[in-house]
């Protein structure tokens, strides 16, 4: 406690000295979300990075999110508390594999979930997040659509839009962990609760959802709902915002395994240190960034 108070004081001072803004993903540790200037999911944070006047962006999330910030704000310094905070789903697709698939479907448009590396975004026609995936697919006039890398979200979007996608076999180790059995047990334990679920979960689990949506839309939904109890099918860090918005409601995470270890690699101490030392910084080669930016900007234009 004492140490955290000291760290928070140091952080305030450094933020002013560096003209820095702290962006934190909803899956970050509470100690980071508490000190953030802005909390959000990957979409809101990318937008914020593009808009901010600050010279330095400290991106508390995983590596691909820091890259998106750097791509959208190339003249700013983007720091990440720990560079080892990666995303296994993003690593499930590589450039060679995607190029081979594109060669097999030369007329296809490539839609890439924002959970992907800058190199993959550079091979992409348009990016999307779980918040806008359906709208992005509906905005496309294409015979064939290649979808990378999340098969679960791809399946969900396919159902929602009625469009057949060519789906890459990636998935999120954390969300994919949740099973039908887990949800049945939780529903038996909390019969009054609504089950809110992220579309990165398995299709059969998503099908059980009373509400299906991105992290931000789950947060909005629970805040507005009249229900008092929720079973939550997304990453456990979301509890910080859920409880803050509705201290009188109960949130039960569907299993104790809904924790993304990569997100938790960052902590308050590393956050302060990165602003002190101004490293590690996110670097994206300009040629890659220019191509990737086009696919991100196309996404930001879809309403
Ligand atoms: O699973 C993730 O990393 C998500 C849902 C990120 C985001 O904010 O879209
Ligand atoms: Fe990647 Fe899943 Fe962690 Fe998100 S929650 S960063 S998709 S591993």
**Is the minimum distance from the CB of 115 to ligand 1 under 6 angstroms?**
yes
> Do the Cβ atoms of 198 and 233 come closer than 8 Å?
yes
* Cβ atoms within 10 Å of 287's Cβ, excluding its own: 9
pTM score, whole prediction: 0.95
Q: How many residues does the chain have?
A: 303
pLDDT at 1: 76
pLDDT at 136: 96
**Is the minimum distance from the CB of 201 to ligand 2 under 6 angstroms?**
no
pLDDT at 175: 98
**Is the minimum distance from the CB of 87 to ligand 2 under 6 angstroms?**
yes
Q: Does the annotation place 114 within a ligand binding site?
A: yes
pLDDT at 2: 84
The best mutation among 29, 61, 87, 266 to test binding of ligand 2, ranked by most ligand atoms within 8 Å of the C-beta, falls on: 87
pLDDT at 247: 97
Q: Taking all residues of the chain, what is their mean pLDDT, rounded to a whole number?
A: 96
> Do the Cβ atoms of 135 and 302 come closer than 8 Å?
yes
CA distance 77 to 257: 34
**Is the minimum distance from the CB of 42 to ligand 2 under 6 angstroms?**
no
pLDDT at 273: 98
Closest CA to 213 of 134, 117, 146: 134
pLDDT band at 70 (very low <50, low <70, confident <90, very high): very high
ipTM for this prediction:
0.96
pLDDT at 255: 97
- List pLDDT tens digits, range 237-274: 999 999 999 999 999 999 999 999 999 999 999 999 99
The best mutation among 64, 67, 131, 175 to test binding of ligand 2, ranked by most ligand atoms within 8 Å of the C-beta, falls on: 175
- List pLDDT tens digits, range 17-33: 999 999 999 999 999 99
pLDDT at 43: 84
> Do the Cβ atoms of 236 and 25 come closer than 8 Å?
no
Q: Please, which residues bridge with residue 295 across strands?
A: none
- List pLDDT tens digits, range 85-142: 999 999 999 999 999 999 999 999 999 999 999 999 999 999 999 989 999 999 999 9
Percent of the residues in the chain that have a pLDDT greater than 90, as a whole number: 95
Domains of the chain plus CATH, in order, are 2-85+263-284 (3.40.50.10800), 90-171+289-301 (3.40.50.10800), 175-253 (3.40.50.10800)
Q: 188-221: buried (b, 16+ CB within 10 Å) or exposed (e) per residue? A: eeeeebbbbbbbbbbeebbebbebbbbbbbbbeb
pLDDT band at 198 (very low <50, low <70, confident <90, very high): very high
């Amino acid at each position: 406690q004492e140490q955290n108070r000291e760290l928070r004081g140091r952080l305030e001072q450094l933020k002013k000295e560096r003209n820095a803004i702290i962006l934190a993903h909803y899956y970050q540790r509470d100690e980071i979300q508490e000190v953030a200037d802005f909390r959000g999911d990957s979409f809101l944070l990318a937008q914020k990075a593009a808009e901010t006047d600050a010279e330095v962006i400290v991106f508390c999330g995983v590596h691909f999110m820091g890259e998106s910030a750097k791509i959208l704000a190339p003249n700013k310094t983007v720091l990440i508390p720990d560079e080892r905070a990666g995303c296994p789903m993003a690593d499930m697709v590589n450039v060679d594999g995607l190029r081979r698939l594109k060669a097999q479907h030369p007329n296809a448009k490539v839609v890439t979930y924002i959970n992907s590396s800058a190199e993959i975004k550079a091979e992409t026609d348009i990016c999307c997040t779980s918040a806008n995936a359906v709208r992005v697919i509906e905005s496309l006039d294409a015979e064939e659509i290649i979808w990378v890398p999340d098969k679960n979200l791809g399946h969900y979007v396919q159902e929602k839009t009625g469009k057949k996608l060519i789906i890459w076999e990636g998935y999120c180790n954390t969300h994919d962990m949740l099973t039908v059995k887990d949800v049945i047990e939780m529903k038996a334990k909390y019969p009054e609760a609504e089950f809110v679920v992220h579309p990165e979960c398995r299709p059969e689990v998503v099908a059980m959802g009373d509400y299906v949506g991105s992290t931000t839309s789950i947060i909005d939904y629970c805040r507005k709902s009249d229900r008092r109890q929720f079973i939550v099918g997304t990453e456990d860090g979301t509890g910080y915002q859920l409880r803050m918005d509705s201290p009188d409601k109960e949130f039960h995470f569907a299993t104790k395994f809904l924790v993304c270890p990569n997100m938790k690699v960052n902590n308050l101490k590393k956050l302060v240190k990165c602003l002190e030392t101004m490293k590690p910084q996110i670097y994206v080669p300009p040629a890659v960034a220019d191509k990737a930016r086009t696919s991100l900007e196309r996404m930001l234009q879809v309403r």
